[in-house]
Amino acid sequence: MAPEKNMDLGKFRNEICDFLNNHIPDDVWEAVAKTTSYFPAFSAVMTMHKLLATKGWSVVNWPEEYGGPGWSDEQRRIFFEEYCSRGLPMMAPQSVGMVAPAIMKFGTAEQKAKYLPPIASGADTWCQGYSEPNAGSDLVSLQCRADSDGDHYIINGQKTWTTWAFEVDHIFLLVRTSSEGRPQAGITFLLIDSMSLPGMEVRPIIGLDGMPEQAEVFFDNVRVPKTQVLGTENQGWTVAKYLLEHERAAGGSFQFVLRRELDKLRTLANVTDDGHGSKISSDPVFKQKCAELEVDWRCLAASENYARRIGSNHPEAAHMASLIKLESMNLTQHISELALDISGTLALVDQQLALHIGSETPPIDPIEVLTVMPTYLNQRASSIFGGSHQIQRDILAKLVISK
Amino acid sequence: MSKLPPDILAQLAESAQKFISNEYSFTHRQALASSTIGYSEKHWQMFADLAWLAIPFNEEHGGLGGNIADISGLLEQFGYGLIIEPYISTVVLAGHVLSNANDSPLSQELTAQIISGNVHISLAWQERQSSANVMNIKTTATETEDGYLINGEKISVLNGLNADSYIISAQSQNTKTPSLFFVAADTKGLSAQHHQLYDGHRATTLQLQNVLIPKQNQLVVNAEELLKETMTVGMYALCCEALGSMEKLLEMTIEYAKIRKQFGVPIASFQALRHMISDMYVTLKKTRCLNEQIASQWVHHSPSPQDIAALKVQTGKAAHFISRNAIQIHGGIGMTNELEVGHYVKRLTTIDGLLGNSQYHLASLANSL
Ligand SMILES: Cc1cc2nc3c(=O)[nH]c(=O)nc-3n(C[C@H](O)[C@H](O)[C@H](O)COP(=O)(O)OP(=O)(O)OC[C@H]3O[C@@H](n4cnc5c(N)ncnc54)[C@H](O)[C@@H]3O)c2cc1C
């Protein structure tokens, strides 16, 4: 869809709403109601991706030449507002927001032609193979090796915490191709076309909530052609860093996601008894905690809006990216903590069976409590992934103190 | 303050430590948690043989004559070892009711059976609308010629899966006060839906539809005082267990921070983490001081409602604080179900949720000031 230069934004919003209200399949809404993680049910993510692709809306942050809709900032904001405030699953960030921008920036013409269209359509899906058992916060110490063998590499080693590795069909990898010089200098960025090449093994990791989300990925003499390098050999760190910046600047939409979470919290409080004949929603301790979260939410929304206004080339853009990661994840965790606090014993029952999409097991009454404990447990990861809170504060300290 | 002599207490503590280090590996615990009954009958029999099940009961009923402070050390060990056997439900909660019920042949018989390890009894006090208010009871007991007819619903009945019988609180239609009734698990009209909790323990929802029980099954009339006191005892027991679990979580976290290296050094050398660990220590230590102070005064007077609420609030807050920091310091590995850490976190989270969580008791404290 090529928008008119000064298209009526109200009409634009109506078109988005009309689609989202009327064309989303039931299993996606079920997944929305049962989401307990930053990473929603993968099947629902891809259903939505393919559905949005039919409208040309699956990769709204991409430039038009690669398949983006060519929207203005304002249109994108409206889209995310409508999309996220309904709790709908975001497109897989690893594919759309990480590897794709890196390919656009560093890829050859062939790589762009081969990889970008199927990401846009939802035919190809990717996971991020950065972390290793001994290379987490200290990513540059990574040891997964790619040895040269003619026009191929032979990969040996292990990746871990790879989100959705058992759901997707591609992985992008950071591997060590040289041990000379600084550790950053010997890293290469590889694009792998399959999750089941000979010598590859994926083992899901079960999380605290009892569900698999991440995985270990093992490489035992896996052969990959050298044409799969993105950028140049031993220059992978430049690509990796560019991609991490994209990972952090998730697009200014936490405010909409968390607005909905705060509203859900109120709904929960409205149906939960306080034990003295009223509902928790009138409990003074709850009200105070909730009011504090409302203040935090307003600060977050204002910060996101500010970051969007100054854009990504402003000297404060990096500060804002870390600030928003810290504050959005804090608020996410605090909302899940308050939900747990007000649910009391009701949240303690393990209802994993009822949480599966299409499950025949009905949730225990009240249904609002179903997601409380798994969300609480799962969201402990929000201050660990994508650069832990400690690492974010280190980054900020460097920026702020050296100023 | 303890009633038992120091040598007996020392023996109990030693046998508990031995049991945990020799018989209770984490893998074994996980296997028990996912087994059909959710605990080990063999262990339970051992608890009976070691007289653990007898501690809080009067000597004339075959107990050791201890009090709540005498089980605090044992419970702390249970927390440290992440013991899944249903001690609190049978011995502490149901046990406390029976110790203070009318001295009838029935309650004597039940006490003897608990001590010998032959039965599990669960106290069913909580209801859908009651939150942690033990006096908020909609279940009714109507006197008839043949006995009492009980109707209602009970939730979160701990260890209901293995309970041979229940002690059920109900509003007596005659006296308009709560009474406690003994109901065998196979009584007609009683139906149970069993659940597993996130920490592996079991809890049950009970429906009572015209459940008819004989007159002598009324264990306590005007049970308000006893119900409240039982909550106090149960809350204290949970707080003791939590101390042990928090201690272990802190130990594991320090251990991990010393061996895990990033940037070429142990992560324990990063000041940000050192401060987190110090705060975890401070939190645990002050919670322990509060717990011990309350226990030491118990002999003279039971803790006031404000004191016990404050202890439960502080223990819940500490449990969350230590759990969250333990995961954070472990990083990704702390988020997995494979590691012990997460299971301690889930037990501590559950402990906060039982018998009124920190939110509930903070609100009751706020209203009482
Ligand atoms: C849910 C989830 C999804 C993930 N998805 C992916 C994925 O798809 N792909 C991928 O490659 N990785 C993924 N990760 C991995 C993630 O990036 C790492 O967990 C993260 O980088 C932290 O590394 P670590 O777990 O090894 O912890 P460590 O680096 O060992 O950190 C342990 C603790 O030490 C602290 N610490 C470390 N260094 C310092 C320092 N210098 N100063 C102060 N404190 C410090 C940390 O903050 C943390 O508290 C995921 C992780 C999670 C939990």
pLDDT by residue (tens digit) across A186-202? 999 999 999 999 999 99
Mean pLDDT of chain A: 94
Whole-number Cα distances in Å, B224 to B133, B137, B169: 11, 11, 10
Beta strands in chain B (DSSP E): 121-124, 140-143, 148-158, 165-172, 178-184, 190-196, 202-213, 218-220, 261-262, 265-266
Average pLDDT score over residue span B355-369:
94
Residue of A nearest to B357 (CA): A344
- pLDDT tens readout for residues B298-352: 876 789 999 999 999 999 999 999 999 999 999 999 999 999 999 999 999 999 9
Contact A207 CB / ligand 1 (< 6 Å): no
- pLDDT tens readout for residues A265-277: 999 999 999 999 9
Average pLDDT score over residue span A331-360:
96
Q: Does A162 touch chain B (CB under 8 A)?
A: no
Average pLDDT score over residue span A297-323:
93
Contact A37 CB / ligand 1 (< 6 Å): no
Q: How far apart are CA B208 and CA B154, in angstroms?
A: 8
- pLDDT tens readout for residues A58-115: 999 999 999 999 999 899 999 999 999 999 999 999 999 999 999 999 999 999 999 9
Whether A228 has a pLDDT exceeding 50, the answer reads yes
The CATH number of domain B225-368, selected from 1.20.140.10, 2.40.100.10, 3.90.1640.10, 3.90.79.10: 1.20.140.10
Each domain of chain A, given as residue ranges in start order, spans: 3-91, 126-236, 252-401
The answer for B 297-326 residues in CB contact with A (under 8 A) is: 320, 324
What was the pLDDT predicted at A4? 47
Q: B16-42: b or e for each residue (b if 16 or more CB lie within 10 Å)?
A: beebbeeebeeeebbebbeeeebbbee
What was the pLDDT predicted at A248? 56
Query: Which one of B131, B137, B271, B345 would you mutate to disrupt binding with A, by most A Cβ within 10 Å of its Cβ?
Result: B131
Instruction: Report the CATH number of the B6-119 domain.
Output: 1.10.540.10
Query: Which one of B89, B335, B343, B367 would you mutate to disrupt binding with A, by most A Cβ within 10 Å of its Cβ?
Result: B335
Q: Does A273 touch chain B (CB under 8 A)?
A: yes
Contact A161 CB / ligand 1 (< 6 Å): yes
The answer to whether the Cβ–Cβ distance between A344 and B270 falls below 8 Å is: no
Query: Which one of A140, A345, A390 would you mutate to disrupt binding with B, by most B Cβ within 10 Å of its Cβ?
Result: A345
The answer to whether the Cβ–Cβ distance between A273 and B128 falls below 8 Å is: yes
What was the pLDDT predicted at B299? 72
Instruction: Report the CATH number of the A252-401 domain.
Output: 1.20.140.10
- Domain B122-222, architecture per CATH: Beta Barrel (2.40)
Dihedral, CA of residue B143, residue B146, residue B148 and residue B154, to nearest 10:
-150
Instruction: Identify which of A139, A161, A202, A246 to mutate to test ligand 1's pocket (most ligand atoms within 8 A of the CB).
Output: A161
- pLDDT tens readout for residues B241-261: 999 999 999 999 999 999 999
Q: State whether residue B213 is helix, strand or coil.
A: strand
Shortest CB distance from A349 goes to which of B203, B345, B354?
B203
Q: Does B363 touch chain A (CB under 8 A)?
A: yes
Average pLDDT score over residue span A311-315:
89
Whether A1 has a pLDDT exceeding 50, the answer reads no
Each domain of chain B, given as residue ranges in start order, spans: 6-119, 122-222, 225-368
Whether A372 has a pLDDT exceeding 90, the answer reads yes
Taking a C-beta distance cutoff of 8 angstroms, is the pair B74, B16 a contact? yes
Task: Tell which atom from ligand 1 comes closest to the C-alpha of A164.
Answer: 8
Dihedral, CA of residue B93, residue B94, residue B96 and residue B99, to nearest 10:
180
Q: HSE (CB half, 13 Å, CA atoms) of B331?
A: 23
What was the pLDDT predicted at A6? 55
Whether A247 has a pLDDT exceeding 80, the answer reads no
Average pLDDT score over residue span A178-185:
92
> Which among A269, A284, A242, A208 has a CA at the least distance from the CA of A100?
A242
Q: Does A182 touch chain B (CB under 8 A)?
A: no
Pairing of strands B165-172, B121-124: parallel
Whether B297 has a pLDDT exceeding 90, the answer reads no
CA-proximal residue: ligand 1, atom 5 (nearest): A163
Cis before A366 (ω within 30): yes
Instruction: Identify which of A141, A202, A385, A393 to mutate to test ligand 1's pocket (most ligand atoms within 8 A of the CB).
Output: A385
- pLDDT tens readout for residues B125-178: 999 999 999 999 999 999 999 999 999 999 999 999 999 999 999 999 988 999
pLDDT class for A252, splitting at 50, 70, 90?
A: low
What was the pLDDT predicted at B289? 98
pTM for the full model?
A: 0.97
Contact A390 CB / ligand 1 (< 6 Å): yes
Whether A49 has a pLDDT exceeding 50, the answer reads yes
The CATH number of domain A126-236, selected from 2.40.110.10, 3.40.50.300, 3.40.47.10, 3.40.50.720: 2.40.110.10
Q: Domain A3-91: which CATH class?
A: mainly alpha
Q: Does B242 touch chain A (CB under 8 A)?
A: no
Q: State whether residue A229 is helix, strand or coil.
A: strand
What was the pLDDT predicted at A2? 46
Contact B329 CB / ligand 1 (< 6 Å): yes
Whether B2 has a pLDDT exceeding 90, the answer reads no
